[in-house]
Chains A and B, each alone.
Chain A
Amino acid sequence: MTILEAKRVGKQFAVKDSASLWKKKVFQALENVDLRLDSGRTVGVVGESGSGKSTLGEILGDLQHPSAGTVLYKGRDVRSLTKAEYRQFRRNVQYIFQNPKESMNPYFTVEKILTEPMQVLLDSYDAASARRRAAEMLGRVGLAESALGKYPSELSGGQCQRIAIARALLLSPEVIVCDECVSALDVSIQAQILNLLKDLQREFGTAYLFISHDIGVIHYMSDEIIVVNHGHVVEQGEGAAVIRAPKNDYTRTLIASAFFTREAARCGAL
């Protein structure tokens, strides 16, 4: 089932013009992007910093309004949803940010961090069962129940990222936007988190929009890959097809950067 759909979305920002103190110029961060997120599938977005991939994630999560095009939630424009429907949208589209510590209130305990979204977004909420579910979910993401009483500053980056995942999953969302959610982690922790996300997808049928600059990670996670460069989609297709037979030069550069030998990397890249 299609949950989220982007139709020709674009985003412009007004930025300072270097030639003048008060004039602004238009910066096109994203142009004409079409994509569809079906349940149980992962769409990977890859590109370097400044290519517009985070903007795309933010538009789909309705953290930013597109300046062109529309985002459809189950076939309806997100802007036309009623207040009650929008609350459902907020619950069903969750976000995992790059820096887990900055996405949590440092004065909240893990218990408060995990139960607060349930309190706000679920229709029936009772504190005891919410706490029980939070404890269960912590076990599911590989943390002990004792973590509930801790503050984010007492936990490592990998542990915080697990809590961010638990927080998103507790609302049983239909879509999770993962914006560079493993980039700040070490490779050994990265592997744990990626496997966890894959297991949970199999279990709950969640759709992921997986944003990363690492082509290897994108290849491992995605059913469909979108390559963005300077706000344009330069290549879009089935994961294996994009990796095995890239049609665009920029995609080839990204793939070459993942190779072992200097020669292979050079032929592809420069």
Chain B
Amino acid sequence: MKQDAVLNIEGLTVRAASGDVLVRDVSLTLGAQECLGIAGESGSGKTVTAKSVLQLLPPDLRASARSLSVLGKDILSMTEPERRRFLGCEVGFVPQNTVAYLHPLIKVKRQLTDGYLCYHDTTKREALERAHGLLEQVGIRDASRVMESYPGELSGGMRQRVNIAMALMSDPKLIIADEPTTALDCVVQQQVVELFHSINTQRHVAIVMISHDLNLIRRYCHKVAVMYAGQVVETGDSQAVFTSPKHPYTKALLSVVPRVDQDPAARLSEIPGYVPETGRDTDECLFRPRCAECTQACSGAVRCLRGADRFVRCSKVCEEAGA
């Protein structure tokens, strides 16, 4: 484990009460001030992974891991109150659904300050001033009016800015954003992602950004982890992964999105079949039934290529690399 890692997950597995495996053997590392993108289709376990770091899983899901540490502290060995205080102060969370996350009947100013007052020994006035300042920093021009508003009076982009300001209240070292722009229009989307970028570069906060939009991750994240059916299939430097993808799923994922610089007369490539929803508790390759490149080497337990800055879960890639 790297000493300066902000987030270190090793061997995370999440099971439902019914015994189904949702996420299996996920390992991720995030250095200080880095921005990690988690990419994948729906049902690939991106959100479950993020929520198990924050201990926000629904009660019927159980997470277990070999090691799960935030800022070098093992959060699995903490007691519940310790963990709440630690995560509440050091980790911010930005949700996808801006409507469901804010209480519709409580003014923005109280929602912004509640969590902060809970964990910090300070006055209400100081908290309100802090909230006001943060709203201005996230690009809200009339912060005083927004403070006195109810969430329903704000647009989707404004609500997402309020959520981001709320995540920043305790000066976290890490922000986990779960599809933060999916519900927003493309112009607002651009502004919100730029805001995340400036939080990352100017406030030096590490960010985990979950998104199904590969372009967005390619543009803004230093590192990327591609997930498929509850497993991480490829991680690495985002420019390297996107320009020379190694795992067949990453390659396929990049080629199925219609692009504006492509000739529309050329047929779009497809990935046949569907993402498996059950039977994930196996050592074999889960992408094999849909894979265009699978060979004899692919039967049996899947092997992983663990390079210095690249991880690929594919037997064929391992064989080609001579590992």
Contacts and interface: CB of A to CB of B under 8 A. Distances in A.
Nearest to A18: B153
B268 A262 contact: no
Interface on chain B toward A: helix, strand, loop, or mixed SS?
loop
A239 B263 CA distance: 11
A49 B219 contact: no
Tier of interface size on chain A:
35 or more
Interface string A185-205: 011111110110010000000
Contacts of B268: 191, 194-195, 220
B253 A253 contact: no
A195 B220 CA distance: 30
Contacts of B259: 216, 219, 258
Contacts of A65: none
Contacts of A222: 264
A198 B265 CA distance: 10
B144 interface: no
B264 A188 contact: no
B260 A221 contact: no
Interface in A234-249: 239-240, 243
A143 to B, nearest CB: 11
A262 B274 contact: no
Contact of B264 (A156, A187, A221): A221
B195 to A, nearest CB: 12
A188 B267 contact: no
A258 B186 CA distance: 10
Given A188-B252, A188-B271, A195-B270, A219 B258 contact: yes
Interface in B5-52: 41-42
Contacts of A156: 274
A73 B268 CA distance: 33
Contact of A189 (B186, B219, B264, B274): B274
B190 A216 contact: no
A266 B259 CA distance: 18
A48 interface: yes
Given A195-B268, A220-B268, A187 B257 contact: yes
Interface string B247-262: 0000011001111101
A114 interface: no
19 contacts: A49-B185, A186-B41, A186-B212, A187-B256, A188-B270, A191-B270, A219-B259, A220-B258, A221-B264, A254-B186, A255-B260, A257-B190, A257-B215, A260-B218, A261-B219, A265-B219, A266-B190, A266-B194, A270-B191
